[in-house]
Chains A and B, each alone.
Chain A
Amino acid sequence: MVILHLAIILPFLFAIAAPILHKLLPRVHVGWLMLPVPAALFAYMLSLIPVIRDKGFQEGTIAWMPSLGVDVHVYADGLALLFALLITGIGSLVLLYSIYYLDKNREKLVRFYVSLMLFMGAMLGLVLSDNLMVLYGFWELTSISSFLLIAFWHEREKSLYGAMKSLVITVFGGLAMFSGFLLLYVMTGTFSIRELIAGVPAIAGHDLFVPAMLLILLGAFTKSAQFPFHIWLPDAMEAPTPVSAYLHSATMVKAGIYLVARMSPIFAGEALWLWLVSGLGLLTLVYGSFRALKQIDLKSMLAFSTISQLGLVMSLFGLGSAAALYTGTPQAEFFSKATMAALFHLLNHAIFKGTLFMVVGIVDHETGTRDIRKLGGLMAVMPITFTIAMIGSFSMAGIPPFNGFLSKEMFFTAVLNIRSMDLYGMDAWGTLFPVIAWVASVFTFIYSMLLVFRTFGGKAQFDKLEKKPHEAPLGLLLSPVVLATLAIVFGLFPNLASYSLIEPAMAAVHPGLLGPGEQFMVSISLWHGFTTELFMTAGVVALGIVLFLLHKRSAVLNQPLFVKATLNKSYDGGLSMMDRVSHAITRVYMTGSIRHYMIYIFAFLILALGLTLFGQNAFSIDTSGFAEMSFYEGAIMLALVLASIAVLFVNSRLMAIILTGAVGYLVSLFFVIFRAPDLALTQLSVETVSVALFLLCFYHLPKLKKELVSLRFKLGNLIIALGVGATMTLVALSASRTKPFESISHYFLENSYKLAGGKNVVNVILVDFRGFDTMLEIVVLGIASFGIYALIKVKLKEDGLESAPGQSRAALPLEAYKSNDVILKTLAKLTIVIILGFSLYMFYMGHNHPGGGFIGALMASAALLLMGMSFGMKKVDRFMPLNFQKLTALGILIALLTGIGSFVFDAPFLSHAFDYFDVPIIGELELATATLFDLGVYLTVIGVAMTIIFTIGRDQ
């Protein structure tokens, strides 16, 4: 465990604490309570810069599932640090901004900040994890928190649509990536990224290498909104603007880029990697910038701009991977310039795009619209916002002296350099790269200008706005001012970033290019002479200005090209088609008839079990070890069979219930014969209580009608029933064959007394060896009893059918009915005392003799039931004024605490201890914690049984 672990955990802790903090300090904006988190983390990450520059990395491990190779291994190198700084730095500014953006009286702030903190923690975890499985977990968590944040205004249809779309697309990619990770594991046997990088030479030619790469790229492309998966990002703009600025521009959408950079050392040698990453990136760049031109909503414009810029960075990482092919030659450094540009632009984009999103948020906030057709002339009323917007836009357009200009120039350098590559057909196609890059830059220039001058320049048309615009409050301006300042600072002094951030990050992306102790030397300067790049920029500006002026009049520039067949339509169509098809398929077998479902289950049982056993030739019977059968046993068996079959033919409910009860009692006789005293006792008590329960409900259950059904219906049922019966008989018989493996039963017989100090092996298994199972079992019982309680007691509003047809409103028997039978009353008094006393004895002796918590409790319940029947329920109430629901909870609590108690002695959950004491008169006495656990069982079962009896018995 290192501080880095804490850094990941901290946001999660605050996510949990947010509701509590809000309760404690209801008048403070939740944002103020959360702001210290990213601020402190940012400071910590800054302090790591010198450490990582010197040492290269910082790491720490917490073992999680070592047997599966999954550990929480945090690893911060230059690349991770760059991202961590973005996450915490932009995070702090966005949080500050959101405090002024979201009204604390109108918005559900706790929900907002919980999701935001969740995202921050997940994103930090993503970039700091070395283990691919952990990385995947955080990856999906970012998708989920993004989903929650997009759907923040969930009363809007469009928010839900956008949230769903982003989730469907990114989780689809995430799953693909997950399978890619698994393929990597299959090849190498490790989930550690660094071990993978070290093992690349061994797997490069592997059959699964390319599939793994494609799957991982699918994850990266969907997350980073690359064409054609970009369609979710514009719809994600339904989120509050601080979220758009943070998740959908500065951080989360860059996770895909992070993954590409991270995986680059593994896949860089593959031609397909270079082509796919750089090609698709470039396509996304030009497509996104072209679409951005046509948007009338400022946020949509920024969304397409983000898509296009993500494509730019993506393609740069692709081009940079070419360096790996030239390891050891001077050309390596030449091509690695692309990576340098990518890292620098990553930073710059976060800065200027963050600025612009915040500006758009301010415009939206102050004017009530983001439609550029309604906006205009805001320059005069919002001078500060205008200045910030201009810095952001000019930086994005690539105009000096802002930071975007520098990375744009470096981008041109990279695409020009790639022409000199002589591998993978680059020599033939390489010329295309600078051409496309240049065209896209022109588009970028135009929409940057549109963004700022359509909003702030031109004629004022304030009559079209909902509000009268005025300058934003200081709080809203603070964050964008900081970012705009950074845009200028990094433009004038780029080496501030290159020394501290880019050089270490380069080392992380290109580990193979450095000898031991070497470092990348990155030097960026504002003025680099009259180069091709500079002339390209001049061309961009010239053509850009011309087209900007033409924009309003030219349909090619401001109207959508395709209306009928768009990607969005095919997404919607595909989704609804899948919906329809799966609905149609489901409707075929989900008929709503329980009988059909049962038939599926039983038919499957016959086929799966019967055929498998038949196929494995398991149906052989070995009669040699069969036990003797006496005449009396035969008679009981016959009675059991006859009683069972008779149930099928009776038409009286009373008869059916009594016959079923008889079968139960006969089964308990078999338990006696088969040397299972505990089972016999349990079965007897259960049967008694449940027959009584059946009879209690008796009046309310309908008469058993002779079922008027076709012969076909009956015959079908009979065939299935006989099939199941025959299969089970065969299963029982084939068990007589030699066992394929040794039974584990002798372990319990040998160790029951030695390890657990109990002589009743069955009870010892229940409370000691398998105590955890029993623990969960009583929980299940508790749930069943609460379910019954809720069914009876909770009356729904529309529950107007309380007096169902043909029902009198008479109370159920137990409440009103008191027996007049004197003999019953007299005998009952005596019997109840005896049974209750015996129940306690049974409970206590259970560890060594037949008995135990279950049996004792069921007996006690039977005694209380008898009391209720003879004297009325009120008597029971007076005799035992307990709340049986609470008793159930108390029982479970005792069992749980017994289990937790073992932690005090540093033993695993539910470890038991025991010892023997000499007590005068009684003799040797055993005290075991298992008895305490059994007490929990005892109380729970009494609570459950009495809750059931009381709720049914008293319902009116």
Chain B
Amino acid sequence: MELYMSLTIGVLFTVGVYLILSKSLLRIILGTSFLTHGVHLLLLTMSRLKTGAAPLLGEKADSYVDPLPQALILTSIVISFGVTSFFIVLAYKAYRKLGTDDMEQLRGEQHE
């Protein structure tokens, strides 16, 4: 399963990066979500899949899956929620103020 998961992760990253490189601000924001999903699955896959029960000691299982990546991912999910919301609002504000969401038009000007 790890093999197929790795390929899926590759697809998520490819889609995410492609979206981020596009010109539309909305696509860029969606792209970051894809990257986040890719990273989360990558962390899980790297620690090997389904090696035991869920990390709840009440289960009294012989072995548990690695809890550490899960803790990292949980943190990351919540943070990326905050960051994505911030992004959306920034994009929406920028669009209302400047009337475009094309990144090439939003380019910073050269300051001399």
Across the two chains, which residue of chain A brings its CB closest to B86? A784
Chain B neighbourhood of A718, CB < 8 A: 18
Contact A759 B103 (CB under 8 A): no
Contact B104 A593 (CB under 8 A): yes
Q: Point out which of B18, B34, B71, B75 has the most chain A C-beta atoms below 10 A from its C-beta.
A: B71
User: Smallest CB–CB gap between B46 and chain A, Å?
Assistant: 4
Instruction: Please count how many residues in chain A sit with their CB below 8 Å of the partner chain's CB atoms.
Output: 113
Contact A728 B10 (CB under 8 A): yes
Chain B neighbourhood of A731, CB < 8 A: 42, 46
Contact B7 A729 (CB under 8 A): yes
A337 CA to B4 CA in the complex, in Å? Answer: 84
Contact B44 A676 (CB under 8 A): yes
Chain B neighbourhood of A629, CB < 8 A: 1, 4
Is the CB of A915 closer than 8 A to any CB of chain B? no
Chain A neighbourhood of B20, CB < 8 A: 598
Chain B neighbourhood of A599, CB < 8 A: 21
Contact B86 A682 (CB under 8 A): no
Contact flag A676-B56 (CB < 8 Å), given A587-B110, A626-B3: no
A858 CA to B82 CA in the complex, in Å? Answer: 12
Contact B93 A792 (CB under 8 A): yes
Chain B neighbourhood of A700, CB < 8 A: 92, 95-96
Within 8 Å by CB of A634, from B4, B42, B95, lies B4
Contact B96 A744 (CB under 8 A): no
State the total of A-B contacts with C-beta under 8 angstroms: 299
Contact B14 A765 (CB under 8 A): no
Contact B85 A948 (CB under 8 A): yes
A799 CA to B1 CA in the complex, in Å? Answer: 54
Across the two chains, which residue of chain A brings its CB closest to B57? A759
Contact A667 B26 (CB under 8 A): no
A729 CA to B15 CA in the complex, in Å? Answer: 13
Chain B neighbourhood of A728, CB < 8 A: 9-10, 13, 38, 42
Across the two chains, which residue of chain B brings its CB closest to A732? B6
Chain B neighbourhood of A785, CB < 8 A: 82, 85
Interface string of A747-761 (1 = CB under 8 A from B): 011001100000111
Contact A627 B2 (CB under 8 A): yes
The residues in A between 790 and 822 inclusive whose CB is less than 8 angstroms from any CB of B are 791-792, 799, 801-802, 804-805, 807
Is the CB of A328 closer than 8 A to any CB of chain B? no
Contact A717 B92 (CB under 8 A): no
Contact flag A663-B3 (CB < 8 Å), given A641-B11, A801-B96: no
A765 CA to B70 CA in the complex, in Å? Answer: 10
The residues in B between 13 and 53 inclusive whose CB is less than 8 angstroms from any CB of A are 13-24, 26-28, 30, 33-34, 37-38, 40-42, 44-53
A736 CA to B85 CA in the complex, in Å? Answer: 35
The residues in A between 760 and 786 inclusive whose CB is less than 8 angstroms from any CB of B are 760-762, 765-766, 770, 773-774, 777, 780-781, 784-785
Contact A667 B37 (CB under 8 A): yes
Contact B2 A760 (CB under 8 A): no
Is the CB of A720 closer than 8 A to any CB of chain B? yes
Is the CB of A40 closer than 8 A to any CB of chain B? no
Chain A neighbourhood of B37, CB < 8 A: 663-664, 667
Contact B78 A748 (CB under 8 A): no
Chain B neighbourhood of A774, CB < 8 A: 75
Contact flag A849-B56 (CB < 8 Å), given A598-B21, A728-B42, A804-B95: yes
Contact A690 B81 (CB under 8 A): yes
Contact A725 B57 (CB under 8 A): no
User: Smallest CB–CB gap between B110 and chain A, Å?
Assistant: 7
Contact B11 A644 (CB under 8 A): yes
Across the two chains, which residue of chain B brings its CB closest to A640? B8
Contact flag A675-B46 (CB < 8 Å), given A656-B30, A725-B13, A762-B70: no
Across the two chains, which residue of chain A brings its CB closest to B22? A707
Interface segment, one of A73-81, A515-523, A645-653: A645-653
Contact A941 B44 (CB under 8 A): no
A671 CA to B41 CA in the complex, in Å? Answer: 9
Contact A697 B89 (CB under 8 A): yes
Chain B neighbourhood of A117, CB < 8 A: none
Chain B neighbourhood of A777, CB < 8 A: 75, 78-79
User: Smallest CB–CB gap between B26 and chain A, Å?
Assistant: 6
Is the CB of A69 closer than 8 A to any CB of chain B? no
Contact B27 A721 (CB under 8 A): no
Is the CB of A633 closer than 8 A to any CB of chain B? yes
A92 CA to B29 CA in the complex, in Å? Answer: 61
Interface string of A649-685 (1 = CB under 8 A from B): 0000100110010011001001101111111001100
Is the CB of A848 closer than 8 A to any CB of chain B? yes
23 residue pairs bridging A and B, Cβ less than 8 Å apart: A623-B3, A626-B3, A637-B5, A647-B15, A648-B19, A653-B26, A657-B30, A660-B33, A660-B34, A704-B24, A707-B24, A717-B17, A724-B17, A728-B9, A732-B45, A735-B47, A743-B68, A749-B67, A762-B55, A762-B71, A780-B79, A780-B82, A858-B81
In the A-B complex, the 3 residue pairs with the closest CB atoms: A725-B14, A729-B10, A592-B108
Which positions in A face B, CB cutoff 8 Å?
Answer: 587, 591-595, 598-599, 602, 621, 623, 625-629, 633-634, 637, 640-641, 644-645, 647-648, 653, 656-657, 660, 663-664, 667, 670-671, 673-679, 682-683, 686, 689-690, 693-694, 697, 700-702, 704-705, 707, 709, 717-718, 720-722, 724-726, 728-729, 731-733, 735-736, 743-745, 748-749, 752-753, 759-762, 765-766, 770, 773-774, 777, 780-781, 784-785, 787-788, 791-792, 799, 801-802, 804-805, 807, 848-850, 854, 858, 941, 944-945, 948, 951-952
